């Protein structure tokens, strides 16, 4: 039982202004795993003012000082790595292997990436007699989700620290344990008081207070498109910068010359991983109509081979989804897909056999879907793959782009030039060709209603910097 009832403000653990607690539910057991305090606008104001005071000095630190700080944070993260992985498994149900090899690994990966970028980053450039400076934007409000909890924290906090910003973090209130450990890591690493602050709470209270606060200079939000609209609306009166990484309904085009056994199996695995709770999951598989029966048979075998179970067991490939609310939404959308005429290829409504306790979902494949069905339009955020047919490559591209989202896309095929040409026509912020490995230096973010701005690598730094032109820097001869 974890009791995390204090917030981290100005370098110290402090009580909330008004005591109010929330039970944190373990999605594998449906039991209470711990409690947190829910913050208020008063707590946010206290944290923002601490960050504003700290900005005066932290913004003036040297690159060498910030490099040393990131190196200390990385060392402390390594010391707490096992604790971090265990917390992620407990709070959001990631299988132990996934938590250790991917979820917790992404946290340290973003820290190491920010460190590498910082070592070679140019904050100043002279053009003629004018100096172009990139300066920290100020106090940053960071609002992060539950599905990849420390990944989303790290890919915001690491570049903010590297560029000289101060910040207030509001992690997801339903998966807050990893944020607590992250905060303990930063404290142990000697992050100066006020540079990093943590206030737990819900979106309508703490999230709104952060995004609307006049002393917050930018807000970086990851979550649903609906919630992202509210963040932008709250931020608008103070004209602060808003960075958003929002929802997705990513297409996965299998070209006619693709290796279908490999590509379909990889596509199923890509959707099922993390119980389908990844915004960039390849949830719409587009395949030639002439190969539909073959594809459905491969997908059925692949989906039925995905083991579902207790995330602390050694044999589970996927665990539960995060909550009863999410489980109900997924069930509703599966049933909606069947009502609208999709073919049930694997899985379906209800819980897997023998897993009546916990928010477990059957790995589900819906075939012969058309792009107007609800399951092809809405983000399901569960282990549910939809398979759509096309007759020509031009039609496949049109279907792929026919979505309000544009976070990610995937293309598989044997002709490298055709694969690249198709990638160039897709309206998405990141396109993966033939199951390429992740690249933490590659910018991550979306087109259209999948957000604005970019995270990861060098591109993340730009979100936390203002550009200043100093004219007359070099005097004329």
165 is catalytic: no
CA angle 267, 273, 276 (to 5 degrees): 90
Query: Do 250 and 405 meet the contact criterion of CB atoms below 8 Å apart?
Result: yes
Across residues 440-450, what is the average pLDDT?
A: 98
Helix (H) or strand (E) segment spanning residue 230: helix 225-235
Let me know if residue 402 belongs to a domain.
yes
Same domain (yes/no): 66, 193:
yes
Q: Residue 147 — pLDDT band, cuts 50, 70, 90?
A: very high
237: in domain: yes
Enclosing domain of residue 218: 2-246+450-470
Is 207 in the same domain as 127? yes
Residues 403 and 459 in one domain: no
Gap between the Cα atoms of 274 and 101, Å rounded: 12
Q: Give pLDDT, residue 403.
A: 98
Given the residues 140, 155, 165, 279, the one annotated as active site: 279
Regarding whether 295 and 222 lie in a shared domain, the answer is no
CA triplet 302, 401, 425: central angle to 5 degrees? Answer: 100
Tell me, yes or no, whether 131 and 272 share the same domain.
no
> Cβ neighbours of residue 174 under 8 Å, at least 6 residues apart?
24, 25, 91, 92, 146, 322, 323
Cβ atoms of 303 and 384 within 8 Å: the answer is: no
**Is the same domain home to 295 and 420?**
yes
What per-residue confidence (pLDDT) applies to 477?
55
Is the per-residue pLDDT at 157 higher than 70? Answer: yes
Token duo for residue 252? 């996965």
318 lies in the same domain as 426: yes
In the set 173, 245, 379, 458, the catalytic residue is 245
Does pTM surpass 0.95? yes
- Which CATH number covers residue 359? 3.40.309.10
Regarding whether 275 and 242 lie in a shared domain, the answer is no
Distance, in Å, from the CA atom of 188 to the CA atom of 152, rounded to the nearest integer, reads 21
User: pLDDT tens, 420-438?
Assistant: 999 999 999 999 999 999 9
Torsion of CA 12, 13, 18, 20, to 10 degrees: 160
In a domain, 139, yes or no: yes
Query: For residues 207 and 236, is the Cβ–Cβ distance under 8 A?
Result: no
pLDDT tens digits along 320-374? 999 999 999 999 999 999 999 999 999 999 999 999 999 999 999 999 999 999 9
- Total count of domains within the chain: 2
Q: How far is 216 from 233, CA to CA, in rounded Å?
A: 15
The question of whether 90 is a catalytic residue gets the answer: no
Q: Could you read off the pLDDT of 215-239 as tens digits, one per residue?
A: 999 999 999 999 999 999 999 999 9
Q: Are both 315 and 270 inside the same structural domain?
A: yes
Q: What is the DSSP letter of 100?
A: I
Query: Which strands sit side by side in the sheet containing 32-37, from one edge to the other?
Result: 2-4, 32-37, 21-25
Digit-coded pLDDT (tens) for 324-337 = 999 999 999 999 99
Q: pLDDT (tens digit, 9 = 90+) per residue, 266-278?
A: 999 999 999 999 9
Domain check: are 164 and 306 in the same one?
A: no
Mean pLDDT across the chain: 97
CA-based nearest residue to 311, from 53, 16, 92:
92
Domain CATH number, residue 35: 3.40.605.10
What average pLDDT does the segment 168-192 reach?
Answer: 98
Question: Do 325 and 424 fall into the same domain?
Answer: yes
Q: Is residue 476 part of a domain?
A: no
Q: Is residue 354 part of a domain?
A: yes
Residue 445 lies in a domain: no
Above 70 in pLDDT, residue 112? yes
Residue 314 has pLDDT above 90, yes or no: no
Which pLDDT score, from 0 to 100, does residue 476 have?
Answer: 67
Q: Is residue 477 part of a domain?
A: no
pLDDT in tens, 31-59: 999 999 999 999 999 999 999 999 999 99
Q: 475 falls in which pLDDT band (50, 70, 90)?
A: confident
């Amino acid at each position: 039982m974890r009791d995390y009832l204090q917030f981290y403000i100005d370098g110290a653990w402090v009580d909330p202004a008004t005591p109010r607690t929330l039970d944190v539910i373990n999605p594998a057991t449906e039991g209470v795993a711990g409690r947190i305090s829910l913050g208020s606008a008063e707590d946010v104001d206290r944290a923002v003012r601490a960050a504003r005071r700290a900005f005066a000095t932290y913004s003036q630190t040297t690159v060498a000082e910030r490099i040393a700080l990131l190196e200390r944070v990385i060392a402390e993260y390594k010391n707490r790595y096992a604790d971090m992985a265990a917390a992620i498994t407990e709070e959001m149900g990631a299988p132990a292997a996934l938590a250790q090899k991917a979820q917790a690994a992404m946290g340290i990966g973003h820290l190491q990436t920010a460190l590498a970028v910082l070592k070679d980053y140019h904050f100043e450039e002279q053009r003629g007699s004018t100096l172009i400076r990139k300066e920290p934007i100020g106090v940053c409000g960071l609002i992060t989700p539950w599905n990849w909890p420390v990944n989303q924290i790290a890919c915001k906090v690491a570049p903010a620290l590297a560029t000289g910003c101060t910040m207030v973090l509001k992690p997801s209130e339903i998966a807050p344990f990893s944020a607590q450990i992250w905060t303990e890591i930063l404290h142990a690493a000697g992050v100066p008081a006020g540079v990093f602050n943590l206030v737990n709470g819900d979106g309508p209270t703490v999230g709104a207070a952060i995004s609307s606060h006049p002393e917050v200079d930018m807000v970086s939000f990851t979550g649903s498109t609906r919630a992202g609209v509210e963040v932008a609306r709250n931020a608008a009166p103070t004209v602060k910068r808003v960075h958003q990484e929002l929802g997705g309904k990513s297409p996965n085009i299998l070209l006619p010359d693709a290796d279908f056994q490999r590509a379909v199996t990889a596509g199923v695995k890509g959707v099922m991983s993390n119980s389908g709770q990844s915004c960039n999951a390849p949830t719409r598989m587009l395949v030639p109509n002439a190969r539909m029966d073959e594809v459905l048979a491969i997908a059925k075998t692949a989906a039925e081979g995905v083991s579902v179970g207790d995330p602390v067991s050694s044999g589970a490939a996927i665990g539960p989804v995060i909550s009863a609310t999410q489980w109900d939404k997924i069930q509703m959308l599966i049933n909606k897909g069947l009502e609208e005429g999709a073919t049930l290829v694997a899985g379906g409504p209800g819980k897997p056999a023998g897993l009546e306790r916990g928010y477990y979902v059957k790995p589900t494949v819906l075939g012969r879907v058309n792009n107007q069905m609800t399951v092809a339009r809405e983000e399901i955020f569960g282990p549910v793959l939809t398979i759509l047919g096309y007759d020509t490559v031009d039609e496949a591209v049109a279907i792929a782009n026919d979505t309000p989202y544009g976070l990610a896309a995937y293309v598989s095929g044997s002709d490298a030039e055709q694969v690249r040409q198709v990638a160039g026509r897709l309206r998405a912020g990141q396109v993966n060709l033939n199951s390429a490995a992740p690249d933490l230096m590659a910018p991550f973010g979306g087109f259209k209603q999948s957000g604005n701005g970019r995270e990861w690598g060098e591109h993340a730094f730009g979100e936390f910097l203002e550009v200043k032109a100093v004219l007359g820097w070099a005097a004329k001869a």
